[in-house]
């Protein structure tokens, strides 16, 4: 089987089989990064453009490595070095890139919907590398991959996502993916950071973090944007860390083999205590798995089917 | 030249007429109404309006003609031509041009441009504050003398309550209505659509209904304090409808308008990051739509206006966050209003009243009537013609509509301004 869409814009609407296909394909690609020669010829001759309108080190590097390990030609474009500063529209920029015969355009943008906007106007495959507060599908896929690796399954588990849910594309993509795969999802954060109607997506809302992590198999911490304090969304870092920080005491309320995750970059001592991050989290596994998952996505969008991997 | 409109069904709420009559137009004025066949034409040009509805020329009290300053979006010539195509004989032009219509010279420019090029009558609306900055009152006396029929900082809420209070008091000198764009800017902040489940799913910043409601409440309180005639623009929320209804019951001098999109669409229309569904106030929920229909039905909402807001296609073909607010409305308003009539929400005469007589009364335009001696501003409507909205065919310079491809029933077939066809 292969993916039905030419693009990966979000997890919303994906089927159990599609998610499984990506995760299973990623499992076969993970091995490539462990070899001495970390390269397969799968996408030789394909051109992949990393179009990043928002600063990113981890995700951009992960996509770049994924493309290169598949032997694609990968080019990075970021606003400071491009025509964006000259006032060119997103559409014109993308059309110009496509005129040079790109096959896959990976876009990160601060505006929700920017990838969808491009996907309807371009022939290239578009991969959403994070758009506004909307979706970050490859992050959710690598998170699900990591959970499955650690717990052996995605169904009948309880996942607590804690932090600024309102402004988190990671939270939204994970809610879509995990509920589709049969997990119970809890979201937890200050009432100022819980968006309207989030429970309609199938997540239960908690303001009390102790309650949210009780019996959880996975605790996924989100990064706190410190500038939200000025917008009145929380009174201060100290109180936030007290109410919504993951520390040892709080972690003891979860399941014994709890999986602690964070999409990075981490505010140590704010949303997660250093000793938890360093000694009991799978943060670096997430990063490793990210490359494999992105290889799988690029491979499948290029028309690959699982059997060929 | 004389014109005889024969066999039409006349609906003229101002004169309580709702029957088949002929109308004789002479020298740009309405000469006479009479039973079918009773009026002698004396060589008049005859228009057969059998099967048609003949109503006072429609008035759109909320239009952005964009001239001066944004002629690439619309001009007085193209905007009024679009108005006429949609059945409107008069439009009121909002002051957020460049320069802002906050002084006599801009008003005079608009009026002189209209005299030269307009296909429909243009009544300018002046700014409440200089530059619509919300800081100092505009010279309302001069604006009034120059021809402004109301004042508004439309598009920009007057956030300072004390300035709004003084504007309302000062407007009483000239008996000008103050038209309020009700939006608390601190609550709407960087929002781009209604705050709710859809904005959560799309990951777009929301504008809560309360951003409109708190301002509606404030301005109603200030209207009570000052005794000013307050008109609430483009009502989009159930909360505002409730507040206005209650204020009217208490005798506060408040009137209100809504736009076809607020009784037709919900925030679901923004899915797919459809910038054609981006306007301010934003499309709300099904509950709000129901409340607005109820408000239209029970008279809480007096007027249907379009908030015709033309924008270039390039401006709308961008990321949702970056697209400007607003849609065109002049050429679809009548057909969408007819949907309310067809579904039984509004009687036809009520719809006509909200599109002609009521805006005329609020702005003291002395229009919206087919009494003999009145200007022959007349709209002839075919209530049965089915048509498909095709934005490419719009007379307006801009095509930014969420209704492209919609099938509507009912359309203006002839729009007469001052006896001119």
User: What tens digit of pLDDT does each residue of A40-75 get?
Assistant: 999 999 999 999 999 898 999 999 999 999 999 999
Phi/psi of residue A137, each to 5°?
Answer: -60, -40
**pLDDT number for residue A83:** 59
Q: Which of B139, B67, B134, B146 is nearest to B102 (CA)?
A: B139
Residues B63, B330: contact at Cβ < 8 Å?
A: yes
Question: What local confidence, expressed as pLDDT, does residue B40 receive?
Answer: 83
Instruction: Using a CB–CB cutoff of 8 Å, tell me whether B42 touches chain A.
Output: no
Contact residues on chain B for A197, CB-CB shorter than 8 A: 196-197, 200-201
Using a CB-CB cut-off of 8 Å, the residues of chain A touching B191 are none
The helix or strand, by DSSP H or E, that contains position B382, with its residue range, turns out to be strand B378-388
**Residue A233, SS3 per DSSP:** coil
If we measure between CA atoms, which residue out of B127, B197, B68, B272 comes closest to residue A121? Answer: B272
In order of A175, B126, B153, B155, B308, the CA distances from B304 in angstroms are 42, 20, 19, 18, 12
- From chain A, pick out residues whose CB is under 8 angstroms from the CB of B267: none
Cβ-based contacts of B202 with chain A (< 8 Å) = 112-113, 134
Residues in A closer than 8 angstroms to B319, CB to CB, are 90, 109, 111, 113-114, 117
Burial status of residue A237 (CB atoms within 10 A of its CB: 0-12, 13-18, 19 or more): middle
Chain segment A90-142, per-residue pLDDT in tens:
999 999 999 999 999 999 999 999 999 999 999 999 999 999 999 999 999 99
Please tell me the predicted confidence (pLDDT) of residue A86.
66
Does A195 sit within 8 Å of B204, measured CB to CB?
Answer: no
Q: Which two tokens stand for residue B370?
A: 């087919």
CB proximity A198 to B under 8 Å? yes
Q: How far is B322 from chain A (nearest CA, A)?
A: 8
User: What would the pLDDT profile of A146-196 be if each residue is shown by its tens digit?
Assistant: 999 999 999 999 999 999 999 999 999 999 999 999 999 999 999 999 999
**A-contacting residues in B 254-293 (Cβ below 8 Å):** 272-273
Contact status, residue A157 vs residue A184, Cβ threshold 8 Å:
yes
A230 touches chain B (CB under 8 A): no
User: Which of B197, B203, B318 is nearest residue A112 as measured by Cβ atoms?
Assistant: B203
Nearest one of B263, B266, B365 to B305, comparing CA atoms:
B263
CB A287 within 8 A of CB A22: no
Q: Give the A:B interface size as CB pairs under 8 Å.
A: 64
How far is B319 from chain A, CA to nearest CA, in Å? Answer: 6
Query: Are B264 and B236 spatial neighbours (Cβ–Cβ below 8 Å)?
Result: no
Which of A12, A113, A195 is opposite residue B319, by nearest beta carbon? Answer: A113
pLDDT given for residue A304 in this prediction: 75
Q: Is A118 in CB contact (< 8 Å) with chain B?
A: no
**pLDDT surpasses 60 at A89:** yes
Give the strand pairing for B29-34 and B17-26: antiparallel
In angstroms, what separates the C-alpha of A2 from chain B's closest C-alpha? 25
pLDDT value, residue A78: 85
Closest by CA to A263, choosing from A149, A172, A158, A202, is: A172
Does residue B28 contact residue B328 with C-beta atoms inside 8 Å? no
Q: Which of A117, A198, A201 sits opposite B273 (nearest CB)?
A: A117
Q: How far is B73 from chain A (nearest CA, A)?
A: 19
Q: Which pLDDT score is estimated for B145?
A: 98
Q: List chain A residues with CB under 8 Å of B273.
A: 112-113, 116-117
Q: Is B195 exposed, middle or buried (0-12, 13-18, 19+ CB in 10 A)?
A: buried
- State the DSSP code for A256: T
Residue A176 forms contact with B (CB below 8 Å): no
User: What are the structure tokens assigned to B276, written together?
Assistant: 């054609």
> Which SS3 state, helix, strand or coil, does residue A108 take?
strand
Q: Which amino acids of A are annotated catalytic?
A: 58-59, 86, 108, 136
> Would you call A284 exposed, middle or buried from its count of C-beta atoms within 10 A (0-12, 13-18, 19+)?
exposed
Opening angle at CA A280, ends A274 and A281, nearest 5: 85
Residues from chain B contacting residue A195 (CB–CB below 8 Å): 199-200, 206
Select the residue from B193, B204, B273 to test the A interface by mutation, using most A Cβ atoms within 10 A.
B273
Q: Nearest CA to B258 among B313, B295, B312?
A: B295
Q: Distance between alpha carbon A141 and the CA centroid of its chain, in Å?
A: 7
Pairwise CA distance, residues B94 & B401, whole Å: 19
- Closest chain B residue to the Cα of A172, Cα to Cα: B201
Q: How confident is the model at residue A80 (pLDDT cuts 50, 70, 90)?
A: low
Q: In this structure, what DSSP letter does residue B116 have?
A: H
Residues of B in contact with A200 (CB under 8 A): 197
Token pair, residue B274, equals 């459809």
Distance from the Cα of residue B130 to its chain's centroid: 23
CB distance A245 to A221 below 8 Å: no
Q: Give dist(CA B53, CA B380) in Å, integer.
A: 6
10-residue mean pLDDT series, chain B (421 residues): 95 97 96 93 92 98 98 98 98 98 98 98 98 97 98 96 98 98 97 98 98 98 98 98 98 98 98 98 98 98 98 96 98 98 98 98 98 97 98 98 98 97 88
Distance in angstroms (rounded) separating the CA atoms of residues B101 and B107: 6
Query: Distance (Å) from the C-alpha of residue A82 to the closest C-alpha of chain B?
Result: 18
- Are the C-beta atoms of B308 and B68 separated by less than 8 Å? no
Compute the distance between CA of residue B341 and CA of residue B347 in angstroms, rounded to an integer.
6
pTM of the model: 0.95
Nearest to A196 among B195, B203, B314 (CB): B195
| pLDDT per position as a tens digit, A256-273 | 999 999 999 999 999 999
Measured CA to CA, the distance from residue B259 to residue B301 in angstroms comes to 10
Distance, CA of A286 to CA of A218 (rounded, Å)? 13
% of chain A with per-residue pLDDT over 70 = 96
Of B22, B307, B375, B377, which one is the catalytic site residue? B307
Q: Does A117 touch chain B (CB under 8 A)?
A: yes
pLDDT-based confidence at residue A238 (cuts at 50, 70, 90)? very high
């Amino acid at each position: 089987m292969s993916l039905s869409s030419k693009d990966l814009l979000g997890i919303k609407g994906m089927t159990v089989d599609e998610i499984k296909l990506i995760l299973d394909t990623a499992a076969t690609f993970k091995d490539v990064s462990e070899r001495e020669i970390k390269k397969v010829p799968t996408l030789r001759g394909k051109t992949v453009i990393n179009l990043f309108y928002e600063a990113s080190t981890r995700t951009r590097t992960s996509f770049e490595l994924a493309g290169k390990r598949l032997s694609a030609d990968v080019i990075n474009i970021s606003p400071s070095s491009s025509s964006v500063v000259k006032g060119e529209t997103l559409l014109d920029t993308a059309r110009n890139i496509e005129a040079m015969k790109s096959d896959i355009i990976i876009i990160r943008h601060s505006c929700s919907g920017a990838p969808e906007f491009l996907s309807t106007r371009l022939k290239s495959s578009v991969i959403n590398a994070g758009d506004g507060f909307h979706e970050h599908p490859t992050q959710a896929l690598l998170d699900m991959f990591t959970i499955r690796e650690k717990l052996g399954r995605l169904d009948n588990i309880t996942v607590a996502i804690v932090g600024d849910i309102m402004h988190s594309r990671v939270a939204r993509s994970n809610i879509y993916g995990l509920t589709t795969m049969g997990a119970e999802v809890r979201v937890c954060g200050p009432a100022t950071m819980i968006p309207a109607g989030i429970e309609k997506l199938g997540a239960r809302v908690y303001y009390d973090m102790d309650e949210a992590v009780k019996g959880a198999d996975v605790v996924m911490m989100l990064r706190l944007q410190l500038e939200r304090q000025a917008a009145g969304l929380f009174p201060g870092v100290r109180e936030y860390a007290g109410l919504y920080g993951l520390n040892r005491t709080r972690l003891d309320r979860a399941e014994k083999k709890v999986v602690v995750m964070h999409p990075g970059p981490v505010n140590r001592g704010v949303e997660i205590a250093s000793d938890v991050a360093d000694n009991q989290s799978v943060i670096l596994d997430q990063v490793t798995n990210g490359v494999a998952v992105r290889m799988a996505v690029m491979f499948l969008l290029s028309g690959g089917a699982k059997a060929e991997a | 030249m004389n014109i005889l409109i024969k066999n039409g069904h006349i609906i003229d709420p101002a004169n309580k007429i709702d029957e088949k009559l002929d109308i004789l137009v002479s020298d740009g004025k309405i000469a006479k109404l009479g039973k079918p066949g009773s009026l002698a034409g004396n060589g008049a040009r005859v228009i057969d309006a059998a099967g048609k509805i003949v109503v006072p020329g429609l008035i759109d009290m909320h239009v952005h003609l964009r001239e001066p300053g944004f002629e690439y979006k619309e001009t007085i010539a193209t905007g009024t031509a679009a108005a006429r195509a949609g059945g409107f004989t008069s439009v009121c032009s909002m002051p957020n041009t460049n320069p802002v219509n906050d002084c006599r010279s801009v008003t005079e420019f608009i009026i002189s441009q209209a005299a030269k090029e307009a296909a429909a009558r243009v009544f300018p609306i002046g700014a409440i504050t200089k530059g619509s900055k919300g800081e100092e009152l505009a010279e309302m006396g001069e604006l009034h003398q120059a021809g402004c029929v109301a004042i508004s900082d439309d598009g920009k809420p007057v956030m300072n309550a004390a300035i709004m209070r003084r504007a309302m008091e000062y407007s009483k000198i000239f008996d000008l209505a103050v038209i309020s764009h009700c939006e608390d800017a601190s609550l709407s902040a960087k929002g781009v659509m209604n705050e709710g489940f859809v904005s959560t799913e799309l990951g777009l910043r929301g504008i809560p209904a309360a951003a409109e409601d708190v301002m509606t409440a404030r301005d109603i309180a200030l209207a009570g304090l000052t005794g000013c005639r307050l008109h609430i623009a483009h009502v989009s929320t159930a909360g505002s409808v409730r507040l206005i209804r209650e204020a009217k019951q208490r005798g506060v001098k408040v009137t209100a308008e809504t736009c076809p999109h607020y009784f037709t669409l919900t925030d679901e229309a923004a899915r797919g990051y459809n910038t054609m569904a981006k306007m301010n106030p934003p499309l709300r929920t099904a509950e709000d739509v129901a409340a607005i229909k109820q408000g239209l039905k029970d008279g809480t909402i007096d007027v249907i206006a379009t908030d015709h807001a033309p924008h270039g296609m390039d401006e709308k073909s961008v990321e949702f966050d970056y697209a400007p607010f607003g849609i065109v409305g002049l050429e679809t308003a009548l057909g969408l209003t007819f949907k309310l009539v067809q579904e039984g929400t509004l009687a036809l005469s009520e719809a006509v009243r909200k599109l002609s007589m009521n805006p005329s009364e609020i702005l003291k335009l002395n229009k919206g009537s087919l009494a003999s001696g009145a200007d022959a501003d007349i709209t002839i409507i075919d209530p049965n013609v089915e048509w498909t909205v095709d934005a490419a065919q719009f007379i307006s310079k801009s095509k930014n509509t969420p209704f492209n491809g919609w099938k509507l029933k009912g359309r203006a077939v002839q729009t007469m301004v001052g006896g001119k066809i």
